[in-house]
């Protein structure tokens, strides 16, 4: 999906935070982030904003994977467990899609598969009128 890879290359913020694209397909995406000192909050754990950014990157890739521009209109995240080191993964899966709206679930896990956070988001799709 060359257009999705190009889409990710233009996401300078995601790349600045160390997010890497692992896999993308229609309505799905998987990314990872190797945790570094820059991702830490004042408690010494991964900042919630870093986890959110990781999940949001997967969400953006999955929702734009069809080549139709999609923009978030709603997103929430629930944090289940903290992380301090290693690698975090985010996997986005399409839950529903129609010509104008689509919803996605993103699971954030650590390298052992432990669930770190659950993100849910909805996008508006700029589907051309026919």
pLDDT tens digits, 16-75: 999 999 999 999 999 999 999 999 999 999 999 999 999 999 999 999 999 999 999 999
Domain residue limits, the chain: 2-125
83 vs 35: CA distance, rounded Å: 9
Q: What is the pTM of this model?
A: 0.94
What is the percentage of the chain residues whose pLDDT exceeds 90?
88
Second-level CATH architecture of 2-125: Roll (3.10)
- Characterise 18 by phi-psi region: left (phi > 0), alpha (psi -120 to 50), beta (else): left
What six digits make up the tokens of 75? 């997103």
Mean pLDDT across 5-12: 86
Q: Which of 50, 114, 95, 12 minimizes the C-alpha distance to 106?
A: 95
């Amino acid at each position: 999906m060359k257009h999705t890879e190009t889409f990710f290359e233009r996401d300078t913020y995601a790349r600045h935070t160390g997010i890497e694209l692992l896999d993308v397909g229609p309505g799905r995406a998987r990314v990872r982030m190797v945790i570094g000192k820059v991702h830490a909050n004042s408690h010494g754990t991964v900042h919630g904003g870093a986890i959110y950014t990781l999940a949001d990157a997967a969400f953006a890739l999955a929702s734009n994977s069809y080549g139709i521009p999609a923009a978030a209109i709603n997103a929430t995240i629930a944090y289940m467990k903290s992380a301090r080191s290693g690698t975090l993964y985010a996997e986005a899966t399409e839950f529903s899609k129609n010509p104008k709206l689509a919803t996605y679930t993103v699971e954030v896990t650590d390298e052992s598969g432990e669930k770190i956070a659950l993100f849910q988001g909805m996008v508006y799709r700029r589907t051309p009128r026919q």
